[in-house]
């Protein structure tokens, strides 16, 4: 019987082999199709996830652009605010300085201490010097301590240099009298 099987006279063996091969092929094909379906499902999920991420990126880009525009507008507003208030501050400073007189040439007399250091001239001494100097040079001024709001010397002490003095008068009339009659 085996002789008949291999000699090709019995076609049932051939049919049986073809049938087995077809079964193996069908099982393998089902396995491949099943794997393809699994991968297609995973691919579909990844595509959905990718689409969601694209939407999120687009939304974030819009938010970044809006934030950027808002930041630019805020910077413009801040600059306008600074410019406005700088002008106001400058006007205020000029208004407060309109009672000021700058005086040059009144010598400074620092006092040496026992430790070898020198003390700057006191405000009282500087005030007295200014009163004497201005009343001597400007006839009819009659400047009193009560006419001076505050005064001080400008800058740091340097050997051999006399620092100027800023005098803030209580009234503009006294300041104007000093300025119109200065020599």
Residue whose entry in the numeric block shows the structure tokens 């809006």: 66
Q: Cα separation of 165 and 163, whole Å?
A: 7
pLDDT score recorded for residue 69: 97
pLDDT confidence bin for 34, thresholds 50/70/90: very high
Percentage of the chain with pLDDT > 70?
94
Q: Cα separation of 35 and 8, whole Å?
A: 39
pLDDT, tens only, 145-183:
999 999 999 998 888 789 999 999 999 999 999 999 986
For the chain, the distance separating the N- and C-terminal CA atoms, rounded to the nearest angstrom, is 148
What mean pLDDT comes out for the span 30-49? 95
What is the pTM for the complete model shown? 0.54
**Model confidence at 1: pLDDT above 60:** no
Instruction: Check if the beta carbon of residue 147 is closer than 8 Å to that of residue 171.
Output: yes
Instruction: Check if the beta carbon of residue 162 is closer than 8 Å to that of residue 104.
Output: yes
pLDDT confidence bin for 7, thresholds 50/70/90: low
pLDDT score recorded for residue 25: 94
What mean pLDDT comes out for the span 12-19? 85
pLDDT score recorded for residue 10: 65
What totals of helices (H) and strands (E) does the chain contain, helices first?
Answer: 4, 5
pLDDT, tens only, 113-148:
778 777 788 889 999 999 999 999 999 999 999 999
pLDDT score recorded for residue 179: 92
**Model confidence at 6: pLDDT above 70:** no
Q: Cα separation of 165 and 127, whole Å?
A: 10
- The residues near 135 (Cβ < 8 Å, ≥ 6 apart) are 141, 142, 143
The residues pairing with 119 across neighbouring beta strands, listed in sequence order, are 111
Torsion, CA 125, CA 126, CA 127, CA 131, rounded to 10? 100
Instruction: Check if the beta carbon of residue 120 is closer than 8 Å to that of residue 112.
Output: no
The residues pairing with 111 across neighbouring beta strands, listed in sequence order, are 119
Q: Cα separation of 167 and 152, whole Å?
A: 7
pLDDT score recorded for residue 78: 98
pLDDT score recorded for residue 82: 97
**Local structure of residue 170 (DSSP, 8 states):** S
């Amino acid at each position: 019987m085996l002789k008949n099987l291999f000699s090709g006279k019995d076609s049932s063996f051939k049919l049986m082999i073809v049938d087995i091969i077809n079964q193996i092929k069908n099982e393998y094909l089902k396995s491949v199709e099943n794997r393809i379906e699994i991968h297609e499902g995973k691919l579909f999920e990844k595509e959905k996830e990718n689409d969601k991420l694209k939407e999120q990126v687009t939304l974030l880009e819009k938010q970044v652009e809006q934030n950027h525009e808002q930041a630019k507008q805020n910077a413009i507003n801040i600059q306008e605010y600074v410019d406005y208030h700088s002008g106001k501050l400058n006007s205020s400073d000029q208004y407060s300085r309109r009672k000021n007189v700058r005086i040059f040439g009144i010598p400074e007399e620092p006092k040496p201490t026992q430790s070898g250091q020198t003390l700057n001239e006191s405000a009282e001494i500087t005030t007295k010097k200014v009163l004497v100097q201005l009343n001597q040079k400007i006839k009819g001024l009659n400047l009193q301590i009560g006419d001076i709001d505050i005064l001080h010397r400008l800058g740091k002490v340097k050997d051999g240099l006399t620092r100027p003095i800023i005098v803030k008068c209580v009234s503009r009339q006294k300041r104007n009298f000093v300025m119109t009659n200065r020599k």
